[in-house]
Amino acid sequence: MYDKLKTISLMSIALFCLQATQSSGQVSRSSGAEVQYTADGADSCLRCHGVERMTTMAETAHGNANNPHAPYAQQGCESCHGPGSLHVSRARGGAGFPALIRFGDEATHDQQKTACLNCHAQDMGELEGMEWAGRLHDTPQVTCSTCHQVHSTENPLANREDQISTCAHCHEDEISNHQRFEQQGIVFDRLTCNDCHDVHQLTRRDEANASTR
Among the listed residues 3, 161, 195, 206, the single contact to ligand HEC using CB under 6 A: 195
Least separation, in Å, of the C-beta of 81 and ligand HEC? Answer: 4
DSSP H helical ranges for 31-159: 43-46, 52-55, 78-81, 85-88, 109-120, 144-147
Least separation, in Å, of the C-beta of 23 and ligand HEC? Answer: 24
Q: Nearer Cβ to ligand HEC, position 26 or 155?
A: 155
CB-neighbour burial class of residue 62 (10 A; exposed 0-12, middle 13-18, buried 19+): buried
Residue 153 near residue 56 (C-beta atoms within 8 A): yes
Size of the site for ligand HEC (CB under 6 A): 86
| Proportion of the chain in helix, strand, coil states, percent, rounded to 5 | 55, 0, 45
CA distance 89 to 73: 23
Contact between 65 and ligand HEC per CB under 6 A: no
Question: Which residues have a Cβ under 8 Å from the Cβ of 164 and sit 6 or more positions away?
Answer: 175, 192, 193
- How many residues can be counted in the chain? 213
CB atoms within 10 A of CB 85: 17
Residues 13-42 close enough to bind ligand HEC by CB under 6 A: 38, 42
The interface region with ligand HEC, picked from 8-16, 22-30, 184-192 by CB under 6 A, is 184-192
Q: Nearer Cβ to ligand HEC, position 9 or 152?
A: 152
The interface region with ligand HEC, picked from 4-12, 14-22, 28-36, 177-185 by CB under 6 A, is 177-185
Contact between 66 and ligand HEC per CB under 6 A: no
Residues 114-133 close enough to bind ligand HEC by CB under 6 A: 115-120, 124-127, 132
Least separation, in Å, of the C-beta of 30 and ligand HEC? Answer: 23
Contact between 92 and ligand HEC per CB under 6 A: no
Q: Nearer Cβ to ligand HEC, position 24 or 159?
A: 159
Partners of 160 in beta bridges: none
CB atoms within 10 A of CB 163: 19
Contact between 136 and ligand HEC per CB under 6 A: yes
Residue 90 near residue 47 (C-beta atoms within 8 A): no
The interface region with ligand HEC, picked from 3-11, 12-20, 25-33, 49-57 by CB under 6 A, is 49-57
